[in-house]
């Protein structure tokens, strides 16, 4: 049977941010491929026997994509220190076990998943440091790119840590499905031995796995990679009793190591990135996590970068946020760039949560178009959001970010989740 869903406004989420009035999508029940996108009445005429749903005041758009989230830290409330990256990392190292060692671990992960679905998120880039959230995510309705994170700088522990990440990847591969993609993450240039990093990059190239890394997040990281001193000098002394530790990479050599990757490479945060470095990572999609960046580093990704380089958006984990609601994240971002035209910014942000999220994670969704996955949401409002400004531009993208709360319909993988 063919199903048609339509709404008063449809956000296609292509580069031009096309908006259809009274548009819709058609697909075959349980087949994860959009048949047609277009005018609702024309679709109904074409597929006469289809099952039809139309939401007059609704907005139909691709399910949102939370491109960077750590579900494992969902139990965190207020044990980590905010306002300075070094203080945050010290507090995380000191309290990590308490936060992770939670009797109710399973329900914490489930709550994080529910929070995604309730905010209209259909796909996530889940960074996992330990692997304990793997099964729950693989069996959840979410479409998940599951990044098994590698971390470790001490040469004597590398063999163990490398074997551990490979083991987690092997387990993730057993769970592979249309909605669960095994992948790898390199935690960051400051925390990862280059021998292990190099091997993992080669694995990603040969097996075509998505790769994610935290990159140039803090002034401390910049000072370490370029100046070889500052906070991380003390960090390695305290952590491993190393005198005169040296960074493993320069920012440039880290990017050069990633240059063979062509498929789904994401670099998260990048608050300190320069134009020269951006030129070196044309193969990557950036991911910004505005609230995490404000809390740990007192900064937002510069607007010029958001505007000129494809950038996805994520909530990061509760380890650096008050919740993992992507709509709240978009609202914060809307207020973070007062210099930008607010309607243009709204469109850029919605694309960061759809089109560019899909690019970052290597997914076949994030846009409403023929042959894309049947991943869509409808949000209903008590009145139409259509409103034009003096230049006759539809302000619905802005009003959507301000007012969207929870979808009335949510389909992932052609299945109704809400
Ligand atoms: O994205 C934020 C800030 N930057 C780095 N790491 C993390 C973030 N949120 C959680 N983390 C985790 C990371 O996955 O914190 C630990 C790792 O498990 C840091 S250990 C040096
Ligand atoms: Fe993170």
pLDDT category of residue 33 using cuts at 50, 70 and 90? very high
Residues 6+ apart with CB under 8 A from 388: 394, 395
pLDDT category of residue 242 using cuts at 50, 70 and 90? confident
Tens-digit pLDDT profile for residues 37-86: 999 999 999 999 999 999 999 999 999 999 999 999 999 999 999 999 99
Domains, the chain, ranges and CATH?
2-63+367-416 (2.30.40.10), 64-361 (3.20.20.140)
For ligand 1, atom 15, the nearest C-alpha belongs to 92
Distance from the CA of 417 to the center of ligand 1, in angstroms?
30
Q: Which has the closest alpha carbon to 262: 188, 204, 182?
A: 204
pLDDT category of residue 139 using cuts at 50, 70 and 90? very high
Which residues of 139-179 form beta strands (DSSP E)? 143-150
| Residues 369 and 34 sit within 8 Å (Cβ to Cβ) | yes
pLDDT category of residue 155 using cuts at 50, 70 and 90? confident
Tokens 């039809």 — which residue? 52
| Residues 92 and 319 sit within 8 Å (Cβ to Cβ) | yes
Tens-digit pLDDT profile for residues 350-388: 999 999 999 999 999 999 999 999 999 999 999 999 878
Report the residue among 70, 90, 95, 133 best suited for mutation to probe ligand 1: largest number of ligand atoms under 8 A from its CB: 70
Q: What average pLDDT is seen over the chain?
A: 96
Tens-digit pLDDT profile for residues 170-203: 999 999 999 999 999 999 999 999 999 999 999 9
For ligand 1, atom 14, the nearest C-alpha belongs to 129
Distance from the CA of 318 to the center of ligand 2, in angstroms?
10
Cα distance between residue 20 and residue 3, in whole Å? 19
Distance from the CA of 222 to the center of ligand 1, in angstroms?
17
For ligand 1, atom 5, the nearest C-alpha belongs to 214
Kindly list the protein residues whose Cβ atom lies closer than 6 A to any atom of ligand 1: 70, 73, 92, 127, 129, 149, 151, 187, 191, 214, 217, 292, 316-317, 319-320
For residues 245-269, average pLDDT: 95
Q: What value, to the nearest 5°, has the Cα angle with vertex 165 and ends 164 and 168?
A: 90
pLDDT tops 90 at residue 240: no
Question: What pTM was estimated for this model as a whole?
Answer: 0.98
pLDDT tops 90 at residue 101: no
- Phi and psi, residue 148, nearest 5°: -75, 115
Cα distance between residue 41 and residue 37, in whole Å? 11
Q: What share of the chain in percent tops pLDDT 90? A: 94
Cα–Cα distances (Å) from 86 to 215, 219, 228, 299, in that order, read: 15, 10, 16, 15
Cα distance between residue 11 and residue 333, in whole Å? 19
Distance from the CA of 304 to the center of ligand 1, in angstroms?
26
Distance from the CA of 142 to the center of ligand 1, in angstroms?
22
Q: Which has the closest alpha carbon to 60: 2, 9, 121?
A: 9
Half-sphere exposure in the Cβ direction for 143 (13 Å, CA): 31
For residues 121-146, average pLDDT: 98
For residues 130-158, average pLDDT: 96
Report the residue among 72, 82, 88, 92 best suited for mutation to probe ligand 1: largest number of ligand atoms under 8 A from its CB: 92
Distance from the CA of 35 to the center of ligand 1, in angstroms?
40
Cα distance between residue 157 and residue 415, in whole Å? 44
């Amino acid at each position: 049977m063919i199903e048609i869903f339509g709404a008063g406004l449809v956000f296609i989420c292509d580069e031009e941010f096309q908006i259809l009035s009274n548009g819709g999508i058609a697909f075959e029940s349980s087949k994860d491929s959009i048949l047609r996108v277009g005018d609702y009445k024309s679709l109904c005429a074409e597929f006469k026997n289809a099952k039809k749903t139309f939401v007059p005041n609704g907005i139909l758009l691709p399910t949102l994509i939370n491109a960077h989230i750590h579900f494992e830290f969902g139990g965190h409330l207020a044990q980590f220190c905010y306002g300075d990256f070094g203080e945050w990392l010290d507090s995380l190292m000191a309290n990590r076990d308490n936060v992770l060692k939670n009797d109710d671990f399973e329900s914490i992960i489930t709550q994080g998943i529910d929070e995604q679905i309730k905010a209209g998120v259909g796909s996530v880039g889940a960074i996992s440091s330990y692997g304990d959230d793997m099964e729950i995510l693989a069996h959840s309705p979410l479409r998940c790119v599951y990044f098994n994170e590698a971390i470790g700088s001490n040469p004597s522990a590398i063999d163990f840590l490398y074997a551990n990440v490979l083991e987690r990847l092997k387990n993730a591969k057993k769970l592979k499905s249309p909605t669960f993609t095994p992948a790898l993450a390199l935690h960051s240039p400051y925390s990862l031995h280059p021998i292990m990093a190099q091997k993992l990059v080669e694995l990603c190239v040969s097996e075509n796995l998505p790769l994610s890394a935290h990159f140039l997040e803090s002034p401390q990281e910049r000072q370490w990679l370029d100046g070889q001193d500052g906070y991380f000098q003390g960090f390695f002394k305290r952590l491993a009793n190393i005198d005169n530790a040296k960074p493993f990479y320069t920012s440039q050599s880290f990017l050069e190591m990633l240059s063979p990757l062509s498929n789904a490479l994401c670099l998260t945060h990048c608050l300190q990135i320069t134009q020269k470095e951006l030129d070196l990572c044309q193969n990557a999609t950036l991911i910004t996590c505005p609230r995490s960046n404000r809390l740990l580093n007192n900064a937002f990704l510069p607007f010029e970068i958001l505007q000129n380089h494809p950038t996805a958006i994520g909530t990061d984990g509760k380890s650096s946020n008050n919740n993992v609601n992507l709509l709240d994240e978009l609202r914060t971002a809307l207020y973070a760039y007062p210099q930008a035209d607010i309607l243009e910014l709204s469109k850029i942000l919605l694309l960061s949560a759809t089109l560019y999220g899909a690019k970052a994670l290597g997914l076949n969704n994030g846009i409403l178009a023929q042959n894309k996955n049947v991943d869509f949401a409808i949000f209903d409002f008590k009145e139409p959001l259509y409103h034009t400004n003096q230049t006759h531009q539809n302000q619905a993208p802005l009003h959507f970010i301000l007012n969207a709360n929870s979808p009335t319909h949510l389909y992932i993988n052609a299945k109704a989740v809400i």
